[in-house]
Amino acid sequence: MQCQLGVRVLLSLLALLFLTGCSQSKILPYTEEWTESRIDHFNPIIRTPDKFAQRMLVNKQYFDEDAGPILLYTGNEGAIDQFWNNTGFVFELAELHKGYVIFIEHRYYGKSIPFGDAWTQNYNYQFLTVEQAIADYAVIISRLKTSLGNPKRKVIAFGGSYGGVLTAFMRFKYPNIVDGGLAASAPIYPMGGYDFYRAVTEDCERYNSQCPIRVRSGYTMLLDTVKTMSGLDKVTQLFHLCKPLTALSLPHFLLWARNAFTIMAMADYPYPASFLGSLPAYPINDACNTILGGDDALSGLANATVRFYDATATGSHTQCHDLDKEYITCADATGCGNMAQWDIQICLQVRLASGTNNKTDMFPPIEPWTDSVYEAYCAKKYGSGLAYNTDFYNINFWTDQIRGASNLIFSNGDLDPWRYGGVYGTDLPSTVYPIIVKGGAHHLDLRGSDKRDPATVTAARDVEKLIIADWLYLGN
């Protein structure tokens, strides 16, 4: 674990040593609350409609009205309740510090939809931006501090993945609102075109060095097999496809098959979990065992892929797999599910180039999207009025120039395929702490403590607790 521990954190260690350590976390109940948020925070001209109803999940079970902090989860791409159910570390901190827990739903997701059913019409999605989202959070938290009778009450933000990026951006843009933040698995740095799937391959190799070799062989056999009509039929049967595979549907099939490894690597948790699908403990290990146990490389690859989709898509080993329903091609090569909102965000702001080359990774060659490919895709799907402003995004949110940042924890699991976009190194401000979570997949440290966690994950959470205590009690 790499972490800068200053004198202030060591003092917190002495004060809270008896409160750290592993416990079995529980998911707290929540109260659903609503507030009105402006659709456009940055234009003084009143529009119609001007506001939308934004959902919040709240728990005050442990809250000390006099001195308790506000613990804010910066909601990301999805309904906020799914993040509530998978972020138990915040609840542990609420009990520890007598905090007010609030998870705010990201605009345009879940039940917080500006313009209602008309949000996709007439460029109504133009307000689906990072700037607008964190402005929602800043305004809501500012109001909350006032309503709780203490405008100076401490606020700690939390987020995982894109939500972690938002936590970092909250601290960058609104340090007057947020006193510190834990940005878990937050790829704020641009990743190279092939980094993501290189990381997935490394995860498989870490478990068994023969696994990536077998997967490469499986894809080689697959691409040789589909050169004939009988070969296409064979692959259709091996992968239990609902529709006959054709040369035309082959590119989408390859994305579908690759996506199985994407999700398994992200959710490579030490226990069964349903956050990204119903997966067993350490699903990468499970997949490698299945691949290596096949009669040949192609059948092993097919067995592992079908095993994943059986569990996460149909729930039945007897049904076939519909590629068009189980994997939706979108501007994020790692998958959008059925969320048009995330597809639009990729077009507007959040570029995530990710391809495979069969050299640094084990997958068939699939080129990462270039700016011109993005522009063509987004214009065709959403109209030529969309414009991606690279310069503004980089300037507005600092990208790799975070030397002026403070009070942020950037944690990255060494099993997480997003790790190459995370913050590492020692050339950072004194209160920006990079933590490598050994044995951790996608923001595992934000999940609640579990007796099946590796000791290294428990240790990472303990360090995070101490840093947060420093921000809360020692005023830095």
Report pLDDT digits (tens) over 133-192: 999 999 999 999 999 999 899 999 999 999 999 999 999 999 999 999 999 999 988 777
Residue with tokens 């529709």: 243
Class of domain 7-188+397-473: alpha beta
Radius of gyration of the CA atoms of the chain, in A: 23
**What are 201's two structure tokens?**
């391959």
Angle between helices 210-225 and 195-207 (to 10 degrees): 120
Ordered by start, the domain boundaries in the chain are: 7-188+397-473, 195-382
Active-site residue (options: 12, 25, 112, 161): 161
Residue 183, classed as helix, strand or coil, is strand
Active-site residue (options: 332, 416, 450, 453): 416
Chosen CATH of 195-382 out of 3.40.50.2000, 1.20.120.980, 3.10.20.310, 1.10.3720.10: 1.20.120.980
Q: Which pLDDT score is estimated for 22?
A: 47
Cα maximum dimension of the chain: 73
Cβ–Cβ < 8 Å for 444, 89? no
Compute CA distances 303 → 14, 154, 247, 297, 447, whole Å.
52, 51, 22, 10, 30
CB atoms within 10 A of CB 476: 15
**Average pLDDT of 239-258?**
96
Q: Which pLDDT score is estimated for 16?
A: 54
Calpha distance 276→443 (Å, rounded): 12
> Residue type at 284?
I
Instruction: Give backbone dihedrals phi and psi of 193, rounded to 5 degrees, phi first.
Output: -60, -25
Calpha distance 300→303 (Å, rounded): 5
Active-site residue (options: 12, 442, 443, 450): 442
Q: Which pLDDT score is estimated for 399?
A: 64
Residue with tokens 């409609």: 49
* Residue 161 annotated among the catalytic residues of the structure: yes
Global pTM value: 0.93
Calpha distance 445→380 (Å, rounded): 40
Q: Which pLDDT score is estimated for 313?
A: 59
Confidence of residue 112 (pLDDT cuts 50, 70, 90): very high
Q: Which pLDDT score is estimated for 23?
A: 59
> Residue type at 255?
L
Residue-wise pLDDT tens digits, 348-391:
888 777 899 999 999 999 999 888 888 889 888 888 777 776 67
